[in-house]
């Protein structure tokens, strides 16, 4: 550990943080094979009569799975692995969008919410699963959102009215801002732009900064959040001076310094995502902003015991199988797409799992995606 990291850690220990731990050397991790650490594995092919390509986001709601695809222009919807609907309403008319920025499904209300491109604040509301356009509302300038309860969304956003970067509770009916869940820093606003692990049953928020925070949001608006874990990444942490950037102050030199720092250190600065909070532990994945394929799984128990894994290649695969989503039961999910030969090497070495995955991929019409669900032991 460098002298800077040691001083950084000691200063953090004297600050007011809860359940704090330092991951001073984030590269100190064990390279593992997928089969050696993954448990409760299931492979689910996504069955469709049309090609599904360019997938880049998946959200799971019980037996319902939503996949954003085709350069963010389509949303494919599956139940028990079989396609039941396909939303593709690209345009500028009523109920149309130029691209799908983010999406949220409300199982109890049978409603689908679509947020369009960055800078477009309109939220489109469709019935589910027939995808009839119902209404729209101005949701504000948010970078991620999820369903908090039957009538409320939680949105990470820039709010011109309050001049804050914050997670807001927003009416799911008309977009009215109801309350602030918590203020966040600019790093979280720009890079923690995924809430596919947040559901009414698993209300987990992630915040990246000089100190990273994983917290649980209370069901009742106005109650205090519960800090699950706070931690830093030593020299790989965002410098503490950037935590002070907020919408109200908007110090232009500091903001420019932050952007330049991120660009220069994009392979150093680490971002957290895909968190699961269980009884007695919390797990999450982290990677540098500029190296999306160098991913680390981390689990921290309540007694501060920590495991960190990287690699995650299955037998015969060329790349690791990293989490791209979380189920409502806290299982991780990886979306695998493309030709089997893109993922698998030419050797004959296959485990029972990797052989099944390869055969499932080969059987897919149009080389459509396959989902892998699993826990990490």
User: Tell me: the pLDDT tens digits for 139-185?
Assistant: 888 899 999 999 999 999 988 777 788 999 999 999 999 999 999 99
The pTM is what? Answer: 0.92
- pLDDT at residue 207 greater than cutoff 70: yes
What is the average pLDDT value for the chain, to the nearest integer?
92
C-beta separation of 301 from 281 below 8 A: yes
∠ Cα 338 342 343 (to 5°) = 90
Calpha distance 374→198 (Å, rounded) = 18
Which two structure tokens, joined as six digits, stand for 252? Answer: 């232009």
pLDDT in tens, 37-51: 999 999 999 999 999
pLDDT number for residue 225: 94
pLDDT at 116: 87
Give residue for tokens 């999820």: 146
Residue 61 structure tokens: 């709601």
Phi, psi dihedrals of residue 62, rounded to the nearest 5°:
65, -125
pLDDT, position 341: 94
Checking if the pLDDT of 12 tops 60, the result is no
- Poorest-pLDDT segment among 6-10, 67-71, 299-303, 315-319: 6-10
CA distance 201 to 329: 9
Provide the pLDDT for residue 249: 58
Q: Token pair of 28, please?
A: 């100190």
What integer is the mean pLDDT of 263-283?
A: 93
For the chain, which residues make up each domain, given as ranges? 3-45+139-376
Cβ neighbours of 289 (radius 10 Å): 18
Least confident of 6-10, 224-228, 336-340: 6-10
Does residue 229 have a pLDDT over 80?
yes
User: With pLDDT > 90 as the criterion, what percentage of the chain qualifies?
Assistant: 80
Tokens 């493309």 sit on residue? 338
What are the φ and ψ backbone dihedral angles of 297, each rounded to 5 degrees?
Answer: -95, 135
Integer Cα distance of 36 and 38 in angstroms: 6
In angstroms, rounded to a whole number, what is the distance separating the alpha carbons of residues 274 and 194? 8
Q: What is the DSSP letter of 224?
A: P
Per-residue model confidence (pLDDT) at position 10: 46
């Amino acid at each position: 550990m460098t002298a800077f990291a040691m001083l950084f850690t000691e200063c953090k220990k004297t600050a007011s943080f809860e359940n704090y731990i330092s991951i001073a050397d984030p590269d100190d991790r064990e390279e593992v094979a997928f089969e050696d650490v993954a448990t409760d594995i299931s492979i689910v092919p996504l069955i469709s009569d049309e090609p599904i390509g360019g997938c880049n986001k998946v959200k799971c709601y019980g037996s319902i799975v939503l996949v954003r695809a085709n350069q963010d222009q389509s949303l494919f919807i599956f139940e028990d692995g079989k396609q039941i609907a396909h939303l593709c309403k690209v345009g500028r008319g009523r109920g149309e969008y130029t691209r799908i920025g983010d999406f949220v499904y409300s199982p109890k209300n049978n409603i689908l919410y679509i947020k369009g491109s960055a800078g477009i604040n309109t939220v489109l509301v469709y019935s589910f699963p027939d995808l009839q356009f119902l209404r729209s509302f101005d949701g504000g300038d948010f970078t991620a959102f999820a369903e908090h309860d039957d009538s409320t969304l939680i949105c990470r956003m820039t709010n011109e009215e309050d001049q804050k970067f914050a997670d807001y509770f927003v009416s799911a009916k008309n977009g009215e801002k109801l309350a602030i869940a918590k203020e966040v820093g600019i790093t979280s606003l720009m890079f923690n732009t995924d809430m596919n692990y947040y559901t009414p049953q698993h209300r987990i928020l992630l915040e990246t900064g000089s100190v990273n925070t994983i917290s649980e949001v209370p069901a009742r608006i106005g109650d205090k959040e519960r800090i699950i874990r706070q931690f830093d990444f030593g020299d790989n942490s965002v410098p503490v001076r950037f935590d002070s950037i907020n919408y109200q102050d908007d110090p232009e030199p500091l903001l420019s310094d932050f952007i330049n720092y991120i660009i220069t250190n994009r392979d150093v600065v680490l971002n957290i995502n895909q968190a699961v909070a269980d009884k007695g532990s919390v797990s999450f994945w982290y990677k540098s902003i500029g190296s999306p394929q160098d991913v680390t799984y981390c689990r921290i128990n309540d007694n501060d015991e920590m495991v960190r894994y990287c690699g995650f290649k299955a037998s015969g695969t060329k790349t690791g199988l990293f989490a791209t989503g979380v189920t409502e039961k806290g299982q991780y999910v990886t979306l695998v797409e493309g030709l089997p030969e893109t993922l698998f090497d030419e050797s004959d070495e296959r485990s029972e799992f990797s052989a099944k995955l390869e055969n499932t991929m080969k059987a897919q019409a149009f080389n459509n995606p396959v989902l892998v669900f699993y826990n990490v032991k």
